[in-house]
Amino acid sequence: MIKFNEIKRAFLVSIWFMFLTFPIMVIRVNPVERIVEWRWKNMILVGIGSFLLSFVWNYLMKRKELGVKKTEAGEETGTIPLAQRILGEKRIYIPGLVAIGVFTMVFPLIFSMYQTTIMTTALIYVMLGLGLNIVVGLAGLLDLGYVAFYAVGAYAYALLNYHFGLGFWMALPIGGVLGAIFGILLGFPVLRLRGDYLAIVTLGFGEIIRIILENWNEFSFGPSGIANIPRPSLFGIDLSVHSSIIYIYYIMIALCLFTVFVVNRLQDSRIGRAWIALREDEVACEAMGIDKAKTKLTAFSLGATWASMAGVMFAAKTTFVNPASFTIWESIMILCIVVLGGMGSIIGVIAGALVLILTPEYLRAFSEYRMLAFGTMLVVMMIFRPGGFIPNVRRVYKFEGVKSADKS
């Protein structure tokens, strides 16, 4: 069954991996005692590990190719992915939804404060992911500076509170509106750009915002940031740290539900379809009379609104903002959430955010290799599930009178 060729291949792979990981796995320099440790045992472990993994890899690749061939031959392989089947089946779907709902509601009561905080962070990223999903997933505009709008929201709350003493509930809508305005401001110069060029310009925009925040001391207090931002209040009652963390968690759940609701409605609306059409063919859109400028600007500004509201939430949660929280890495992370989760798919983006934000947290046990494992996961994901965890299956519209039209 296992051919000699495969063994040879796996052997070569393991040699290659031993060579690659040699500097980090084997050599350890101890600067205090000025000696070099040679950990040969690690090398053997890497060798055996990669030898075995390469078999698993081969097996998965073969299965993948087989699947591709089958679909090419037109065989019905149950192409609907598992997640979609679950969503389609009402008997599983509804109890599942109830279970998830109950779990999220009691989550902060069962688990520790630490867990609740992580979950809140993940929920902020769910919101960011859903917002970017409008821009990237639906309208197909690759935006690498999305974090700029996140920063706009966070600083909007921080500064409005510092100067005018505005509370969280006032700052949230104002932050959203500010985000929309910034979205339009960014949108105008990039209307004519597409693809790589758009990515570069938005990347620049994101950096501009960060650098302004870092250097304009009078305005944003520079790298030292703004501290003592109040947490959200509950009808004017000041909560203890513990209960306000739980409170923030529930606000975040509510905001996420609101986002899901709005994005879902947007997707099925005319403007949503115009976004999808714009992603597919700009010239055809123009010939159909779709206003390209307006459509792109609404995508940018609506996406930015959500980032900005998430920013307000972030400021309220951490009670401290500084420019270091809004680096390009954040933008990439959010983009990863959208692409890995499944572009254009709401449930995919939610899953993507939870996986991408929670895994590094729970991988803290493997602290040193955390990012390595994370990177490997991204690579493997993109090879085996290029459409994302839960790819978007577009809703089929049923028109009345289908039958009669078919007969005629």
Partner 1 sequence: MLKLKNVQTFYGNIQALKDVTIEISEGEIITLIGANGAGKTTTLMAVCGIVPPRSGEISFMGEPITGMEPDKIVSLGICQVPEGRRIFPYLSVAENLDMGAFLRNDRAEIKKDMEYVFDLFPILAERRHQAGGTLSGGEQQMLAISRALMARPRLLLLDEPSLGLAPLIVKQIFEILIKINAENNTTIFLVEQNANLALKVAARGYVMENGRITLTDLSENLLANEEVKKAYLGF
The contact set with partner 1 (CB under 8 A) reads 270, 273-274, 276-277, 280-281, 283-292, 394, 396-397, 399, 402, 405-406, 408
Shortest spacing between CB 390 and partner 1, in angstroms: 17
Q: Which of 210, 186, 201, 182 is nearest to 144 (CA)?
A: 201
Vertex 394: Cα angle to 383 and 147 (nearest 5): 65
Shortest spacing between CB 193 and partner 1, in angstroms: 17
Instruction: Name which of 285 and 315 has its Cβ closer to partner 1.
Output: 285
Shortest spacing between CB 399 and partner 1, in angstroms: 6
Contact 308, 149 (CB under 8 A): yes
Tokens, residue 340 = 């890995």
Shortest spacing between CB 297 and partner 1, in angstroms: 13
Q: What one-character DSSP code corresponds to residue 80?
A: S
Shortest spacing between CB 110 and partner 1, in angstroms: 42
Shortest spacing between CB 383 and partner 1, in angstroms: 23
Instruction: Name which of 29 and 402 has its Cβ closer to partner 1.
Output: 402
Instruction: Name which of 212 and 276 has its Cβ closer to partner 1.
Output: 276
Instruction: Name which of 190 and 290 has its Cβ closer to partner 1.
Output: 290
Shortest spacing between CB 394 and partner 1, in angstroms: 7
Instruction: Name which of 295 and 325 has its Cβ closer to partner 1.
Output: 295
Please tell me the distance from the alpha carbon of residue 128 to that of residue 121, in angstroms, as a whole number.
11
Instruction: Name which of 3 and 394 has its Cβ closer to partner 1.
Output: 394
One-character DSSP codes across 309-343: HHHHHHHHHHS-B-GGGG-HHHHHHHHHHHHHH-T
User: Residue 199: CB partners within 8 Å, gap ≥ 6?
Assistant: 142, 143, 144
Shortest spacing between CB 299 and partner 1, in angstroms: 16
Tokens, residue 24 = 């980090």
Shortest spacing between CB 205 and partner 1, in angstroms: 26
H/E segment holding residue 220: helix 217-220
Instruction: Name which of 209 and 297 has its Cβ closer to partner 1.
Output: 297
User: Which residue is associated with the tokens 């084997």?
Assistant: 26
Contact 153, 309 (CB under 8 A): yes
Shortest spacing between CB 284 and partner 1, in angstroms: 4
Contact 295, 275 (CB under 8 A): yes
Instruction: Name which of 225 and 344 has its Cβ closer to partner 1.
Output: 344
Please tell me the distance from the alpha carbon of residue 7 to that of residue 15, in angstroms, as a whole number.
12
Tokens, residue 254 = 């509510």
Q: How many CA atoms lie within 13 A of 112 on its CB side?
A: 2
Instruction: Name which of 9 and 273 has its Cβ closer to partner 1.
Output: 273
Side chain identity, residue 226: I
Instruction: Name which of 89 and 281 has its Cβ closer to partner 1.
Output: 281
CA distances from 105 to 91, 102, 156, 347 (A): 22, 5, 30, 18
Please tell me the distance from the alpha carbon of residue 141 to that of residue 161, in angstroms, as a whole number.
33
CB atoms near residue 391 (< 10 Å)? 17
